Each structure stands twice: as C-alpha cells, then as structure tokens.
Structure 1
Amino acid sequence: DRKDRIDNLKKAFTGRMSFIVPGPGSNQITKYLYIPQINSSSVSSDLFDKVAEIVYSTERITKKTEQALIRNVLSAFLSIILLFLIAYAISRYVTRPVYQIIEDIEIIANGNYDHPIRRTKGFEFRRLETSIQKMVGRLKKDIISIKQRTDELHQELVNRQYAEQSLRAANHKLSLLGTITRHDLLNQISVVSSGFDLLEEDIPKNEQHNRIMSMIRDALNSIHDLILFTRIYEQMGVDKPVWHHMTRLIDEIMKNFSEQKCSVDDTTNGLEIYADPMFDRVLYNLIENSFRHGGTVTRIAFHVITENGIAVLTYSDNGRGIPGEDKEKIFARGYGTNTGLGLFLIREILSLTGIEIREIGKEGEGACFEIRIPEGKWRLHDASMESNGN
C-alpha cells in the first residue's frame, strides 16, 4: 500500500491521462497507465475503463548511465591527451627547424660567415635553407668587397692627406717666394724709376726722346701693375667663400669714388652672394672701368631678378658702351688700353664659385654686365621680391 496510490489512480482515471511518479522504493519509478474501454457487443470486463499501475526498477539504467558517463569522460580525457601529444609533435616538427635556422643565423650574425645552415626536413625549409645560404654567401662577398674598398679608401685618404700636406707646403713656399720676389722686384723698379727720373732731367727734350721716355715710363708702370696683380691673383681661392651683402658692399666701394658726380640706383633688395672674399674687387673693377672707359658716366645701376633658381644680377652705366666685336675680348688677359687685367680678374674671381659674367649692353647706350649666380650661391632677405620673381 502506498499513501498516494488512491490519489494517483483517481488522477489518472478522472483525467484519463498517463503519468510517472518516483518510488515506491529507491531506484524505482511508477507509471500510471490509463486504458480506455474497448467498444464491443460482448459482455466483458474489457468494457470498463481501467488504470494500470506499473513499477519499474531504474538500477540497471543508472548503472549503465554511470558506466557510459565514465567511459565517455575517460575517452574524452584520452582524446585530449592524444590531441595534445599530436599537436606537440607537429609543433616540434615545425618549430625545431625554425629554431635551428635561427641559431645558425645568430652564429652568422656574430661574424662567423663560414658557418653553414644545417639541413632540415621539409621541402619548404630546404628552400628557406638554400635561400639563406645564398644570401649569406652574397653578404660575405659584399662584406669582403666593402672591406677591400674601405682599405682602398683609407689608403687613398692617407695619400690625399699626404698630398694636401705637400700641397700646403708647396703653396706656402710659392707664396713666400712670390712675396720675396715681388718685394725685390718692386725695390728694383723703384731704383730704376728713380734713376730714370734723374736721367730724364739730363736728356735733351725733343719729340723722339719724349716718345721713348713715355714708352719706358709706361713699361715701368705696367710692370709695377703686373707685380701688384700677382699679389691679388695669389690670394684668389685661398680662403673659403663668404656671403657678401650687395647693398652694404656697394655703399662701401662707392666711398672710393666720392669725387665722381654719379648717382647709384641699387635695387638688389637685400641680395647676398656666396663668393670668394675678393668679390669686392669685382664690383670695384666694374665701377672703375665705367669711369675709366665709359666717358661721361653720371649713373650706374644694380638690379637683380630670379629665374628658375638662378639669380641674374645686372650692372649697367650710361656711358658710351662696348662695341659688339669686343664683348668677349674685354675678358681676355692683356686686352685694353691699360694693364688689361681688370675684367680678366673679375671673371677669374667669379668662376671660383661657378658664377658667370658677360656683357649684354648696346654700344652708345652704356655698358651692361650680366652676372648669373647659380642656385645655392645667393639668397634674398626681401620676401616680396622672392614672391614676385623680381
């Protein structure tokens, strides 16, 4: 007898339903099965609705379930261990050659270029090994070539330093020789000039004697100018180029021509030129040539424009100008009515820093010299001029 049996029977019968409840013993369940009547013309007990009570034991099912769970857990655990071992073996198979190659590369990186890359398994690793071996071989050749070139450059540097020292010593000797020679020549010229002055007083004055005396006097002056020119020419290129501010330089040079009634039109707008320290001789000789050869010069002008990175500085005057056939000759040494060294010296000084000069004026309208200054050898402080290109 069970306390809840009557209630469960009534529940199944009245509700015409089947259901399961736990019990009555451990590892048991009870099923109440509703069985409806069977329609029949015969009189039988089967004509009544019935409820069957069936008790099942769950012990075997529980044991089977527990056994299955244990088997599944063990299988899962063994599978995990097996997968881990397989993964470890695969990773070792894959990474060991990589570590081996890394070790070989580190040995090579430490300077042992003859160390070979050890052979590994796998097609891809053999390709990698071959590629690295080729790279190391090429690197070794390049290092040997660089070392040889370094040794050659070192030897060349030593030779160049020795040559520079020898050149400095030779320049010093030449400079000293030139200084002594110029000093002695100037002394001798002074003696000759003094003697010539005394002799000139005792020679009878006539046309022929005057012409000869004038020739000798001009020759002495030319020799004197040539000696002074050698001193100037010797100084060219000795010192490093410096920046020259045009406006300040023009103002300073014009003080030497204060007796000239001449106006100066300066529109260089803060132009600075990177040139030999003797660049002031360029402007001085240009201005002197205007007053010496230009006739009545009352105006000189300095103007600058920029084009394609080049600064074009023009110097012009309102003198008589230069004939077309003489535009290039005037830069030759010895050309002209005086020593002929002024414009030759100008071109030589400018060429030291890659600056070009030419004469572009028209005869009768004044001289005009165009000075082309390459990029990097000029600069402007007037921003408005740079933006306008003038």
Structure 2
Amino acid sequence: MYLPIVLAAYWFPRRGTAFSLVLSLGYLAMALPFAEGDAGLIVAALSRAVVFVAIGAIISFLSLRLREQEQRYRGVFDNSEAGTFIVAPENTGPRIEEANYMGAALLGSAAGDLIGEPITRFIDEPGAWGDFGERIRSDNAVYGYETVLRRLDGAAVQVLVSGGRLPDGRIILTLVDITARKNAEDALRQANAKLNTMGRLTRNDLMAAVSALLKRIAEGIREFGDPAVRRYLDSLEEDARLVQRRAEITRDYQDLGLRSPGWQPLQKVIREATSCLLLPGVSVRPWVERLEVFADPMLDRVFSNLIENSARHGKTVSQVVITYQLRDGALSLYVEDDGVGVPEAEKEKIFEYGVGEGGGLGLFFVREILSITNMTIRETGRPGEGARFVIDVPPDGYRIV
C-alpha cells in the first residue's frame, strides 16, 4: 500500500492526498469486515489508514515545493538577461552542460548546439579559465571577473563573469556583455586625452603670450618715466602676472578625471603629499590607518592643498590633525588646524573659482576632485579657534581594511 501512495503523491502531487485517502478507504473496506468487532484490530486498521493519508499528504506537499523551486529556477535560468551556463567538470576539461538563450546568443550559437562543448573553446585569454577555476576552488564563488570571449564567428566579446560551485561539483556561470560599456569608456578616455592635449597646447601658447606681454611691459617701465604711465604699466603687469599664475595652477590639474578612480590608502596618500611640502613649524598628524577611500588619483592634491592652505593662511598654525568618524553608514573626514580660522562670511566663498590671495584655484579644484566620486567638502571651524574642513564620503566610497 505504501509504494503506490508514494509514487502517486510524487508524480501527481495535486492529487496525491485524494489518492491516498481513496486507498485508505479501500483498505478499511477490506480490513474492517475481518476485524469481527475486535477493538484492537479496528484501531490498528484506522491508524494504518491515517498513516496512509498522512504519507500521501506530506509527499504531495514536498513534491509540490520541489516542483515550484524547479520552475522558479528554470524561469530565472531561461529568462535571465545575463548569459547563464552550467559547466560540468570532466576529465577531458570543463564542458557546457546547459545554456540559456542569452548565453547562446552571446556566443553566437543555439543553446542546444553548445551542450558538450568545452567552455575553454570560447575564452580568448590564455590562462583565464585556470585563474577563474582556482578562485572558485578557494572561495566557492567569484564575482565581477573580467575576461574576453571569442564567438563562433570570431568576434571578441568583453564580459563580466560571476560563478559559484554547486553541491555536486558543477559550476554555474553568469556572463554580462560589457563590450559597449568598455568601448564607451575607451572613447571617453580618448576624448579626455585629446581635450587634455588641446588644453596643454592652449596653456603653453597663453604662457608664451603672457611672457611676451610682461617683457613689453618691462620695456615700457624702463622707457617711460611719467608717474601716471608707470602706474598704468604697473597695473597691467599685475593683471598679466595674475593670468600667468592661473595658467600655472591649471597645469597641475590637467589630468583631472583622465584616469579612473580607485581605492587609495589614506594614511599613505597624506604622508606622500606632506613629504613634498615645506611646512616650517607645522606638524601634520594623520590618524587614518586602515582607511581606504574610492577617489580620483589626484586625491593627494586635495590634502596637499588643504594642508598648505592652513600653513599659508592660518597665521598661527602649529599643527594639522586629520581624523575620521563613521556616522549613519557614511564617513566624515576632518582636516583641522589651530590657526585663526575662516570668517563666517567666507566659509562658502573660499571654494569659489578665483577667490583668495592672488586668484588661487586650490580649494576650487579640491572640491572638483572630490566631486568626481561624490564626495563633498565644507568648512565648519570657529573663527579664532582654527579651520575645520569636513569631507563627507558616501557609504560605498570607503572601507576599513
């Protein structure tokens, strides 16, 4: 009686409970006439019938859950926007056991035609599968692995691969085509490089023109002795030198945004930035060990500008302290000094273009560098007690290592 109940409940889970109930009633119809009023036999028959129904109900329930999970998996596998593969490790090499439509289209084939094909046939970079498999063996999962596939028609496809080991040793892979994104990044990088070259040439021409102008002004100062003319020439010289200083400052920032942002150890960045500065009588104390931030490669210019700004304009500055604090999932960096501080009316103006002694652009570019990776900066110190610059880092822009 158990075998037909189990089979029926497994193969027809929606009718398994009803089938087991019918069999239980049939069993009772056959068993009770032979009980002849014996209470023990009647109780045993009823108990057995209840067990039959319970077994049918449990197996039906488990079978339904299993099929729902299989349908859910199949739906995700077949309808995923990412190319998905099941790879079986074999003695002759890893072979594709199953592929969805997007995966087959990614390789320029039909899903059925890929079954049994070695996955290494489609990997363009030598050693990529060995490296990927080693990571799978050590961590059981790999995310965001970049490599190049070679389609059946010979075209190269750049993909982002993630994978995980299944309990039976097989590997499930998901591949996302990032060729368009990589091409766009390359085009943007080339455009930035061309703009950078044009800016460099324009700046060089401007510097040459300003130098020639300063030379002519110097000649005029030597030639004319009239005080009014001398004052006029002095004002022209001052304006020309202002243009010259701004052109020199922009040279330091010609590579802004040209290279991709990355994770940078803050303690090392600050120490390298301060090693290039002349800070007589000023000590710099960074307390940011193990902290890394995701920022533009020119992050060192941020701290060199802030520290130099404190030393130059703080007047009574003897130390600059750099610390951080975690708050509400984000992080705040503090660059504090013990100088004269910043007047309330100037706290926002100091970040504007061309504000400051000599038309400096330091703090303006500090804000621009930080904004590339969604960081912000503000000044919150008290006038007379020192400057306090606060750099707010987004939740995904820092990590403690």
Q: TM-score, normalised by structure 2?
A: 0.53
Q: Deviations over 1:200-236 (max 9, x none)?
A: 3223341x33443233223222322332333333322
Any stretches of 5+ residues in structure 2 without a counterpart? 21-55, 84-101, 107-158, 160-174
Secondary structure of the residue aligned to 2:199 is helix
1:300 to 315, 319, 322: 319
Displacement of 1:297 after TM fit? 2.4
Letter in 2 for 1:230: T
1:201 to 222, 234, 253: 222
Give 2:130's aligned residue.
none
Give 2:207's aligned residue.
186
Residues 271 and 313 of structure 1: is their aligned pair in 2 closer, same or farther, counting only changes over 3 Å?
farther
Query: 1 CA distance for matches of 2:238 and 2:360?
Result: 13
Q: How do 1:274-313 residues align onto structure 2 when only pairs under 5 Å count? A: 274=293, 275-294=295-314, 296-308=315-327, 310-313=331-334
Q: Given the alignment of the two structures, is residue 145 of structure 1 paired with residue 79 of structure 2, yes or no? A: yes
Query: 2 CA distance for matches of 1:279 and 1:359?
Result: 18
Give 1:264's aligned residue.
283
1:357 to 373, 377, 383: 377
Any stretches of 5+ residues in structure 1 without a counterpart? 1-89, 102-118, 381-390
Q: How do 1:159-170 residues align onto structure 2 when only pairs under 5 Å count? A: 159-170=180-191
Displacement of 1:335 after TM fit? 2.1
Give 2:339's aligned residue.
318
Give 1:217's aligned residue.
237
Q: Deviations over 1:173-218 (max 9, x none)?
A: 2122222222222222222222222233223341x33443233223
Secondary structure of the residue aligned to 1:333 is coil
Letter in 1 for 2:350: I
Letter in 1 for 2:352: A
RMSD of the alignment, in Å? 4.3
Secondary structure of the residue aligned to 1:234 is coil
Q: Deviations over 1:216-270 (max 9, x none)?
A: 2232223223323333333223243353454884586266325x4x242626264
- Verify the 8 A CA contact 2:375 2:391 in the aligned structure 1: yes
Query: 2 CA distance for matches of 1:252 and 1:132?
Result: 60
Displacement of 1:336 after TM fit? 2.4
Displacement of 1:168 after TM fit? 2.2
Name the structure with the higher strand share: 2
Count of residue pairs the alignment pairs up: 271
Secondary structure of the residue aligned to 1:314 is strand
Residues 316 and 378 of structure 1: is their aligned pair in 2 closer, same or farther, counting only changes over 3 Å?
farther
Query: 2 CA distance for matches of 1:365 and 1:99?
Result: 79
Moved more, 368-377 or 176-185: 368-377
- Verify the 8 A CA contact 2:286 2:321 in the aligned structure 1: yes
Letter in 2 for 1:179: R
Secondary structure of the residue aligned to 1:338 is helix
Letter in 1 for 2:180: N
Q: How do 1:229-244 residues align onto structure 2 when only pairs under 5 Å count? A: 229-237=249-257, 238-244=259-265
Q: How do 1:35-54 residues align onto structure 2 when only pairs under 5 Å count? A: none
Q: TM-score, normalised by structure 1?
A: 0.54
Q: How do 1:56-135 residues align onto structure 2 when only pairs under 5 Å count? A: none
Moved more, 185-194 or 272-281: 272-281
Displacement of 1:324 after TM fit? 0.8
